Amino acid sequence: MIRGVIAALAGSFVALAAGGVGPDLPPFGLGDFQRSEPIAITAEKLEAQDASDRRTLAFRRNVVVKQGPLRLSSDVLSAEYRDGDDQPRRLEARGRVEIREGLRRARCDRAIYDRPAESIRCLGDPAELWDGDDRLTGSEIRFDLASRSVAVTGGTRVEIRRDLTETELSDFGEIEDEEVAERLREGGPISIVSERLEASDPGDERRIRFAGDVVLEQGDVTLRTEELVAIYPPEATQPEKLLASGDVVLTEGALREGRCEHAEYTLAERVIVCEGDAVLREGADRLEGDRIAFDFRARKVDAVGRTRLTVSARTLEEGAR
C-alpha cells in the first residue's frame, strides 16, 4: 500500500509542476519539466495515517523530490487523499521549501497545491522567485493552472537586469568590474515595487501587470504611477517596453520632474515618452506639451504639440552672461 501511495504522490506533484509552470508562462515561470523522467523521493521519516474518509501521507526531515532537472527540497512534504481517490487533493511542502530547475528557482516557507482549485500557492516572508538574475518577491505567489497566470500580493518587488548585447560583449571583452557592467547596462538594474502583480500570456505577447503605488527605479531615474505593464515579445526573457498609466511622476536626480497621464519606456533605446498634459519642471523652469520624450542615452528632452516654455528670470540672467 505504501509503495502505491508514494508513486501516486510523486506522480501528482510532478504533473502539477509540468502542467502549471512551464515555458508558456511569462518570465518567472519554473521551466519545462518532463513527465516521463524517473522520480525519486528521499526523506528520513515516512508516516501514513488512515481515517474513515481520508488518508494522509507525510515525508519528514530532509525531504528531496527529484525528476530530471527538477529538484524540490523541504522539511516536510504531506499529501491528503479523500476516500476513493487515487490522487491527492492537496499537497503541502513546509519548512525551507526550495524548487530548482536550471536558472529558475523559488523559495518560500510553504508551498501548497490545491488540485480542485488548480492552484499552487507559495507563502513566505517573503516568498521569492528567480529567473536568472531577475528576482521577484511577495508575501504570496499564486500560480493559477487553469488560466496559466501568476499573481503576487503582499508588497511585491521585481528586479530586472538587462543582458549585455553581443556587440557590447565583443567591444569590451570579459567584464569583471560590476560597476563597469552596470554602466554598460545603461542605468543598471530596474527595480519595480507595487502592492500587486499579475502575469499572463494572451498568446501574441506576454505581460506582467503591476498595480497599486507602483515605483520603478533605475539609477537616478524614478517613475511613480498607479499601474505599470511590462510587455515581453514572444520567447523573450526580458521586457521590450513598460507602459505606465495614472498620475505618472518621473524624476531624474534632485531637480528634474516630469508629470503626465501615460508614459511608455522603451528599454533598448532607454527613452521614456510622456503623453497627456505632459509637464516638465527643472528648478523654476517649466515645459509643457502634448508629448514630452526623455532620451536618457542622448541626455536630451523633446516636446511636441502645443508646447509652452516658461523660463525663470534667473535662467535668463545666467544665459545672458
Tens digits of pLDDT across the chain (321 residues): 233 333 333 333 433 333 333 333 344 544 443 445 666 778 899 888 887 788 888 889 999 887 777 788 999 998 888 877 777 788 899 999 998 877 778 899 998 888 788 788 889 988 988 877 778 888 998 877 777 778 888 888 888 775 555 554 455 455 455 544 444 445 578 899 999 998 876 556 678 899 999 999 988 889 999 999 998 887 777 788 999 999 999 998 878 899 999 999 998 888 999 999 899 988 888 898 889 998 887 788 888 887 788 876 555 455 545
Residue 123 within a domain: no
Residue 121 grid cell = 500557492
Residue 293 within a domain: yes
Distance CA 85, CA 254 (A): 63
Residue 246 within a domain: yes
Residue 239 grid cell = 521586457
Q: What's the pLDDT score for residue 253? A: 80
Q: Are 278 and 258 in contact (CB under 8 A)?
A: yes
Residue 72 within a domain: no
**CATH number of 229's domain:** 2.60.450.10
Q: What's the pLDDT score for residue 203? A: 59
Burial class (CB in 10 A: 0-12, 13-18, 19+), 68: middle
Determine the 3-state secondary structure of 142 from DSSP. Answer: strand
The total number of structural domains in the chain stands at 1
- b/e for 6-37, b at 16 or more Cβ within 10 A? bebbbbbbbebbbebbeeebbbbbbbbbeeee
Residue 208 within a domain: yes
85: Cβ–Cβ under 8 A, 6 or more apart, which residues?
A: none
Residue 139 within a domain: no
Residue 314 within a domain: yes
CA 246 vs CA 102, 173, 174, 262: distances in Å: 38, 42, 42, 7
55: Cβ–Cβ under 8 A, 6 or more apart, which residues?
A: 5, 48, 49, 80, 81, 83
What are the DSSP E strand ranges found in the chain?
Answer: 39-42, 45-50, 54-67, 70-82, 90-101, 104-114, 119-131, 134-144, 149-160, 190-200, 206-218, 221-232, 241-252, 256-266, 271-282, 285-295, 300-304, 308-310
Q: What's the pLDDT score for residue 314? A: 54
Residue 174 within a domain: yes
Q: Are 269 and 293 in contact (CB under 8 A)?
A: no
Q: What DSSP state is assigned to residue 99?
A: E
Question: Would you tell me how many other CB atoms lie within 10 Å of the CB of residue 209?
Answer: 17
Segments forming the whole domain that contains residue 195: 161-321
Q: What's the pLDDT score for residue 56? A: 86
